[in-house]
Structure 1
Amino acid sequence: MKDLILWINLSLLFSAEISDVLSPKRGQGFLDFNLDKRPRAPYNSSGGVGRRTGLVLHRWIFFFSFLAVFLFADTTLWAAEAAPTAKIHGMLINAESMFGDNEKDTAELEGKVQIVFQGQHLKADKARVYRRSRQVELYGNVEIMDAKNTIVGDQVFLDYENNTGVIYNGYVQSGSVMFAGTLLQKTGESEYIVNTADYTACTNCPASWSFSGTTVRAELGGYAYIKNAVLRFGHVPVFWLPYLIVPLKSDRQSGLLTPNFEVSETGGFAFSIPYFWAISRSSDATIEAKDYAKRGLKALFEYRYVLNENSNGSLSAASIFDKAFADDPRLNTYRPAGQQNDPIDRWFTRYNHYYEMPDGGVHRAQINLASDLQYPKDFPEETLNFGDSAMENRVSYTKNNQDQHYSVDSSYYVNMLHGNPLAGNEDAVHRLPELRFAQAQKNIGDTNFIYSLDLTYTNFARSGNAYDDMEEVIIDGAKVRFPKNTCHSPKWEDDPNCKRIYDGTYDPSIDQIRTGQRLDFRPTLYYPIKMGEGLDLLPKLSYRETHYNFNVEENPYLVRRYLRTELSTRMNFSRIYGDTVSSKATRYKHEIVPEITYSRLPWFSQENHPFFGTGNLSDAPYSSRDGISDLDIGSDFGVQFDYNDRVYDRNLVTVSLLNKVTEKRWVGDRPEYRQIGYLKLAQSYDASQEGRSTENWSDLTATLDMRLDHFQTYSIFNYFPYQNVTNASSRVRLLNDKGQFFQVQLTRQYKITPGQPVDTSTRQEDYTFSAGFISRYINLMGKFVYDANWAEAENGKQIKSWAYIAQYKPPGDCMLITFIHEQVVGSDTRFKLNFEFTFDGTPKPPLPPEALDAYGFY
């Protein structure tokens, strides 16, 4: 009953008639909400008697209604239900009480004020609306929200026509970006000027980091320009800048990046400030100035570009007038006395380019150069080739169609094995150029015969002599061959007083040819035969003819020809495991594939030539799985240009057994296949060595590759039965869904010389232990390399190198502090510290385990 009486009373109270009745004087009435300013008739107009009678009646109705409410309605119900709504200039207004002044054209609102206008929702304790000037004043707990931004303040004066105004003691938030101040002037749709301001992108309070300034000019979706900027961690000021520009958007944009800090024994304390330049939508660059306390000022530059969806490139460079390197014994040992301790200009440049051209061709380029051979060791994160024997520079153009392959390739190498950091590059051999044509496997007419063709021309060139003058000595019963020098020592490069000798006369019995041209022609014929379910035969016949032209006066021309026959037989046994009823069930396919391959050279023609050494070619223990090492230099068969110069698998039987497991699982409505298990065993028997050697069996090779969700391993083992040792390269990783991992890696290599026992003291045997821990606020990962043969090492240290990375993620998802500590073998310990601020509210993902590969080189 009282609800019904209350509803009647409110309906009468907020009707236009009651408004007129309660107005003691026109234009100054309480609750006069004729806000749309529709004209009304005066009280003394025609029909006035009826109007006055109505007024009396309405007064009585109002009196009794008010009395009923007073008697029966509780105050809580009144407050809950008495929220009138009105409309002003398209603004929808709601408040507990409203007062209109038609003469001043204003409206007073109090109690839970809410205003909706042009996609904005305004809240306040109290508000005043000025209809003539199109302004609104908001007081107490003011909040203005739209689809992208939120404005909060104690008081807000807003021009709702131009969407400008003033906010007192408030803040503006757009996504995760927030700036606050004592006075915020809204000068446009998304532009603000803030006095005594704070800026942050953190979601926590107090913010993990913030910039404070005397004045901030901000444009949402653009930049904030801060004067007298002070970086604060929490409430603690740590850094001051006179002027700072920070982003208020997550798009690529130009600006200063956070500074980086580094400490090392050689370089001292280093401080760098990078600048990011967003050149265009498809290119950008990073320019960095890095100041070393001991080395000097270094300039770094990196340019990146995208040409199309699949084409991109990058160019990196750096330059420093290195004062610390001037005192380095690695350099001064080889410099004249008058030049020692003089600083030198050190630099590097690295360029990577990949371009898929409109004609279907692909252009690739890889350039990597440095001022000296020690640069990759001192700055391994720049050249990215620390420990390599050469710096490779390569430019190529390739084009493939359905049946053919065409390529033009050129490779320039920088020899990194010299002792003198400033040594020349006259002895490096380059491929300038290499031309190749290949015909893909194709049927001959409608027959089952398949043919393919390979044609390659290579020019091997260098700036020095066409051949190497060599000399030979016997050390511990073994023959050692090395470049002729004044000290007659294999380690002549370690002594600056030793000089290389070029006597100007080619000695075919010992000197090695290093330059020339090679034309290689190789057609192949196949005839695949399917014997039955799971049994395949593949006979193959190939002819190879290779022409050589050497840049020496004696025997400048050589031709090698041979015919190779090969027969492969393979069987495939497979079975499906898992739910075979449901169409979207996870299933596993296990395959066992045994294979036997027999290769033989029924015909071979090659003249005796010093390029292939002085030994009997039939005694050469070459197979397709033999590698090339430094031991070949001292052998009777030399090293030639590359592996293509070897005649391998002359009478060889290879047996292999493959186990493979493939998983099929569904991701949504799409099937996904992945190989989760792979194990291959293989060994060869060389019948061509019968009667000449007791080592007819090759090493037994095992390759294991497993990629499960929480277990991964990739391992290669080579067991040498005659030496009874195993070379190994193995990695085992355990990980969970959070990204935490533990990894053990083994690298063990013995120097194998056929017919000779193994010297285990010269082996390389390293164990690398790595682990990573990820939590809400801290990420940790690290590794160290243990030398199992440390007693025979020159430095006698058990730990060869180490590195760890610690990342602290303060609350608020807005910052990442990364600390790196690494020991580079042969160099000094380095400490690095950098800060990454997040401006878009997206937390940085944890580093993958492979990130450790960039640190702790050995």
Structure 2
Amino acid sequence: MNAELFARETFELKIGENVQVLSDKAFRDSAKNKFEAVGNVIITHQKNSIYGERASLDFNTGQTTVVGNVRYVGPDMTMYGSEMLYNFRDKSFSLGNARILADNYIVLGKKLSRPEPKTVIGIDAEYTTCKDCPESWSIFGREIEITLGEYVRIKHAYLKVKGVVVMYVPYIIFPIKKKRETGLLFPSFGFEFEEGFRFQQPWFWAINDSADMTFTPSVFGRRGLGHQYQYRQVFHEDGWVNLDTLKVLDEVYQPGKQNEELSGDKVFRHFTQAETHWSSGEHFNGHFRLLGVNDLDMMRDYDFFTQNLVDSTEIGMSGFLETRTSMLNLAIDGDFQNNTLFNDPKGFDHRYVQILPKVSLSTSPVTLLQTKIPLIRKFSFGLESDFSVFKQNHYAENLYIRNARRLNSRPYINWELGNLGPVNFRTRVAYDSQKYWFPNESEKTFSKSGVFTESEISFEVEKIFGMAYTENIPVEKVDVAKLSKPTEKSVVNKNLIGELPAFNEGLSKENFVIRRNAYRHSQEFKVKHYYFSDQRTKGNARFLNQISQNTGDGQFDAIDALRSREFLVSNTETRTTLPLSNTVEIQWNNSLVRKKAVTDSLLIDGRSLTDNFSYDRVSYFNVSQGYDLDRKSEEINENLTRLKIDTGITINSFNFGFNEFFFYDTSEHIFSFNISKDSEKYKIFTRFIYDSLTTPVKKLATLGTKFNVVNLFLLGAELQYDLEDKRYASTQYSMLYKPRNECWEIDLRLKRDLVEKRVSVNFLLNFNDKGSSFANF
């Protein structure tokens, strides 16, 4: 019997625990009931395995000592250390100079012990979620208690970044469960030079599988103490509710105060969002949202909280209910809002016009007649209508009527005349009608109506270039010299010993992948005729004068405009439309679409499925020109109305877009273009907007760049310059330090606009959330 076989020994403890020991050499002292194993020791005990250079086992106590490159592998974790004490009776152990590797965290410690099956205690230990770089960030604690599968509790915790202590926390808890669990979350930090250091410590309560709450006590620098509160609940797949609020006792704020000095008083301030959505099958859904504040300056002072919640210049209540079938759609919506541009931050703009409510009814086109006879191929009709109540919170009218009820209806008939070869003919006739009621006027009503006709002649020409496919070809069937490029010269750098000679990479491949794209160029020609009969008006003369003004200030929305003057109203929505009284529009629309074969799903022969493709628009060029038939002039140029040119192109990472509206009668422009270039290392973009319809003329130029410096620093700058006022409208500079492992980041930003200047510093930690939105720049 050789020494190797003799070293294999299997024994059974008196308590029935199976233990197996394998080693290069083994010695047994029967008198003392002890066992010694030396060299490549492997000890297995139930589901636990221990590896080391030397082991001593005491059968009487069940105590085992393992030394030399110790490794413990259990069902919950893997541990490394220099010396380990393990007891087979109660499965407790202690490990010196230890390291724990779990699914989602790492712990390093001077000493780690397991006094109970589910508890690990660490002395002078560090916790981190960065598996590949524990030195990137960690939390050092004098004592760390790990409840396996539940929490990590750290006493006297020091947050370390690259080995440097940046913050002290007396006590902190991290959940290490994979399910939602109640406990403290990692705090968030922020810093602004004028307001100081911001610290927020969230506490999460997992109420049940469908509801949770987060309560976050906060310190907002000089502004004082406050908290955030969030409650979320999901009722079913299409039903949920969310409540998010921020409250603070602000020691800086006073209405109208411009500086950041302490005011000597504490002012209670809050911002609250409540939102809910529900749906019942495919036929009914509803939504409600509330944005509430007790002063309008909250959006400026606490923009880190409000900037993702406020999306317009109004805050308040809004919501809708909608039901729909295959034939009709019925909806009711309304809002009660406050104007955030109101000059009194504590007040309410009672002059602001509310919509309380708006009821909409529309139908799908209903086919009346469908034949194969030319000129009467298909007749269908439908209806679009709504009833709106416009009302001020307190009656405060001055120049214009601001309280009204309006019934807007637009029944229509679609007439498909048919095709003549590739040319398609169709027309649409609609009766456009608005009826108004004024509760506070002596003349109570007003109405306007007219018949609108839209006729169209169109045909489309397209051409396909190439065929899109993907194919794998064995290397034996191809000319490698033609399909692959050899390196031009040998490679020499500091990461190589010697040099890498020139080679042809195609020689190392088993198959060559051949990819081909197809392109579709489409040209669409349209001639459209718009005709609006003389719009009849009747009723309140004051309101007629109000909606006739070109400024558009007297209108509730674009529906109020007189159709004959709609294109003259000074807002982009209506001014860029064509006059509809009697106008011909000529359109020429071009698009180039690229078709790519998707390589994920392949047939046995190596070719892509016939319908397995992706499409993207490479370029487009569209022109629209209007011609007014009502203008009596021998010069063609004097009858031209709005010209619209819209074009763009994408070539690899280069993008270009151009848009132009030109008005012949006033020689005015609305012009914009944008250019951008993207790559893995940088992004450069520029935008320019020119709008001569506004007063003063809008001339805004924007230039920005974002680029990656040595894969660690991301620098960015964006400048917006007002060419009319000859000054910068806004500037923003940013620097983001982000390690390659994306474990943490520091974000520094300097923002300046016409109102204020702000500097902010944010420190963020990533808890093993690779591929998320973390570190987006």
Taking structure 1 as the reference length, the TM-score comes to: 0.73
The residue that corresponds to 1:457 in the other structure is: 387
1:680–1:703 Cα contact (<8 Å) kept: yes
User: How far off its partner does 1:664 sit?
Assistant: 2.4
**Other-structure match for 1:728:** 671
- CA 1:104 to 1:534, structure 2 compared with 1: closer, same or farther past 3 Å? farther
Q: Do the aligned residues in 2 keep the contact of 1:194 with 1:216 (CA within 8 Å)?
A: yes
> How far apart, CA to CA, are the structure 1 residues paired with 2:302 and 2:296?
11
Q: Secondary structure at the match of 2:351?
A: coil
Using a 3 Å threshold, how does the CA distance of structure 1 residues 201 and 252 change in structure 2: closer, same or farther?
A: same
* 1:115 aligned to which of 34, 37, 43: 43
- 1:301 touches 1:317 (CA, 8 Å); kept in 2? yes
Q: Using the alignment, how far apart are the partners of 2:36 and 2:640 within structure 1?
A: 101
**Are 1:565 and 2:453 an aligned pair?**
yes
How much does 1:540 deviate? 0.8
Q: Distance in 2 between matches of 1:718 and 1:200?
A: 57
Specify whether residues 367 and 611 from structure 1 end up closer, same or farther in structure 2 by C-alpha distance, changes over 3 A only. Answer: farther
SS at match of 1:187: strand
Identify the residue that residue 606 of structure 2 maps to in structure 1: none
Aligned equivalents of 2:393, 2:543: Cα separation in 1 = 23
1:525 corresponds to? 413
Which of 759, 766, 785 is the matching residue for 2:720? 785
Measured in 1, the distance between the counterparts of 2:248 and 2:631 equals: 57
RMSD: 3.6
Q: Which residue of 2 aligns with 1:836?
A: 764
Q: What one-letter code is carried by the residue in structure 1 that aligns with 2:711?
A: R
- Kept in 2, the 8 Å contact 1:32–1:101? The answer is no
Structure 1 spans left out of the alignment, 5+ residues? 1-8, 20-30, 39-87, 332-339, 471-511, 622-628, 753-758, 792-797, 852-858
CA deviations 1:589-634 (Å, max 9, x no partner) are 221112222111246432253254349x9xx69xxxxxxx8x234x
Describe the SS at the equivalent of 2:711: coil
Contact 2:8/2:22, CA 8 A, preserved across alignment: no
State the partner residue of 1:547.
Answer: 435
Describe the superposition over 1:222-260 as per-residue Cα deviations: whole angstroms up to 9, x where unpaired: 211111112223443332222111233565444243331
* Identical-residue share of aligned pairs (%): 18
1:306, 1:104 → 2: CA distance?
Answer: 65
Give the deviation of 1:217 after TM superposition.
0.8
Sort the Cα spacing of 1:387 and 1:367 in 2 relative to 1 into closer, same or farther, 3 A.
closer
AA partner of residue 293 (structure 2): A
1:566 CA displacement? 1.4
Q: Is the 8 Å Cα contact of residues 729 and 748 (structure 1) preserved in structure 2?
A: yes
Cα separation, partners in 2 of 1:34 and 1:435, compared to 1, 3 Å? closer
**Deviation for aligned residue 1:323:** 4.2
Equivalent positions of 1:368-379 (< 5 A) are: 368-379=291-302
Matches within 5 A, 1:414-453: 414-444=338-368, 446-447=370-371, 448-453=378-383
Matches within 5 A, 1:249-260: 249=177, 252-253=180-181, 254-260=183-189
Of 152-161 and 834-843, more deviation after overlay is shown by 834-843
Cα distance in 2 for residues equivalent to 1:241 and 1:826 = 37
Higher strand share: 2
Structure 2 residue aligned with 1:802, among 731, 750, 762? 731
Q: Conserved in 2, the CA contact under 8 Å of 1:250 and 1:840?
A: no
| Cα displacement string for residues 89-146 of structure 1 (whole angstroms, at most 9, x for unaligned residues) | 6545321111234555543210111234444442101012345655532111111124
1:841 Cα deviation from its structure 2 partner: 6.6
What one-letter code is carried by the residue in structure 1 that aligns with 2:562? R
Cα 1:352–1:683 change in 2 (3 A) is farther
Instruction: Work out whether 1:296 is the aligned partner of 2:224.
Output: yes
1:196-595 aligned at under 5 Å gives the runs 196-203=124-131, 207-249=135-177, 252-253=180-181, 254-265=183-194, 268-279=195-206, 280-309=208-237, 312=240, 314-326=242-254, 328=256, 344-358=267-281, 360-384=283-307, 388-391=312-315, 393-444=317-368, 446-447=370-371, 448-465=378-395, 468-470=397-399, 512-532=400-420, 534-579=422-467, 585-595=516-526
In 2, Cα distance between equivalents of 1:37 and 1:396: 73
C-alpha contact 1:586 1:666 (8 A) present in aligned 2: yes
Q: Aligned AA for 1:241?
A: V
- Counterpart Cα distance in 2 of 1:431 and 1:172: 61
The one-letter code sitting in structure 1 at the alignment partner of 2:342 is H
The 5 A counterparts of 1:134-149 are: 134-146=62-74, 149=77
**Alignment gaps of 5+ in structure 2:** 372-377, 472-514, 567-579, 602-611
Judging changes above 3 Å, is the alpha-carbon distance between structure 1 residues 138 and 847 closer, same or farther for their aligned structure 2 residues? closer
Aligned-partner residue type, residue 658 of structure 1: N
Paired AA for residue 347 in structure 1: H
2:629 is matched with which residue: 667, 677, 687? 687
- Classify the secondary structure of the residue corresponding to 2:135: coil
Structure 1 residue 523, shift from structure 2 partner:
1.4
Task: Render the CA deviation track for 1:44-80: whole Å, top value 9, x for unaligned.
Answer: xxxxxxxxxxxxxxxxxxxxxxxxxxxxxxxxxxxxx
Match of 1:507 in 2: none
Query: Residue 563 of structure 1: CA displacement?
Result: 1.7
Larger Rg: 1
Task: State the shift of 1:842 in Å.
Answer: 2.9
The offset of 1:275, in angstroms, is: 0.4
Match of 2:641 in 1: 698
Displacement of 1:322: 3.9
Say if 1:120 and 1:575 are closer, same or farther in 2 by CA, change over 3 A: farther
| Aligned 8 A contact 1:323 1:343 in 2 | yes
Report SS of the residue matched to 1:526. strand
CA contact (8 A) 1:537 1:569 kept: yes
Query: Deviations along 1:775-827, whole A, 9 cap, x unmatched?
Result: 53222233121222234xxxxxx222122332222465422222222224312
> 2:517 and 2:626 mapped to 1: Cα distance?
38
Alpha-carbon distance between aligned partners in 2 of 1:177 and 1:563, rounded to the nearest angstrom: 71
**Residue 249 of structure 1 contacts residue 840 of structure 1 at CA under 8 Å; is this kept in 2?**
no
1:141–1:581 Cα change, 3 Å: closer
Name the structure, 1 or 2, with higher relative contact order (CA <8 Å, separation 6+).
1
Letter of the 1:704 counterpart:
T
Paired position in structure 2 for 1:483: none
SS in structure 2 opposite 1:790? coil
Distance 1:640 1:812, change over 3 A: closer
Cα distance change of structure 1 residues 299 and 393 upon mapping to structure 2, 3 Å threshold: same
Amino acid at match of 2:617: Q
Deviation at 1:34, TM superposition (A): 7.2
Q: Distance in 1 between matches of 2:668 and 2:364?
A: 41
Residue 211 of structure 1: how far off its partner (Å): 1.9
Amino acid at match of 2:526: E
**Secondary structure at 1:646 match in 2:** coil
Closer/same/farther in 2, CA of residues 532 and 286 from structure 1, 3 Å limit: farther
Does structure 2 retain, via aligned residues, the 8 Å contact 1:248–1:839? no
> Does 2:699 correspond to 1:765?
yes
Q: What are the within-5 Å matches in structure 2 for residues 27-106 of structure 1?
A: 33=9, 35=11, 90-102=18-30, 104-106=32-34
Aligned mates of 1:121, 1:401 — CA distance in 2: 65
Q: Distance in 2 between matches of 1:286 and 1:719?
A: 54
Instruction: Indicate the residue corresponding to 1:493 in structure 2.
Output: none
2-structure distance, mates of 1:451, 1:406 = 17
User: Which residue of the partner structure matches residue 814 of structure 1?
Assistant: 743
Residue 604 of structure 2 corresponds to residue 673 of structure 1: no
CA separation of 1:237 and 1:359: change in aligned 2, threshold 3 A:
same
Q: 1:125 aligns with which of 36, 45, 53?
A: 53
> Which residue does 2:569 correspond to in 1?
none
Separation in 2 of the partners of 1:386 and 1:176? Answer: 36
Question: C-alpha offsets along residues 210-229 of structure 1, whole Å, 9 cap, x if unaligned?
Answer: 22222211023321111111
The one-letter code of the counterpart of 1:685 is Y
Structure-2 residue corresponding to 1:776 = 711
Runs of at least 4 residues off by over 6 Å: 340-343, 581-584, 691-695
Could you say which structure has the higher helix fraction? Answer: 1
Residue of structure 1 in register with 2:91 after alignment? 163
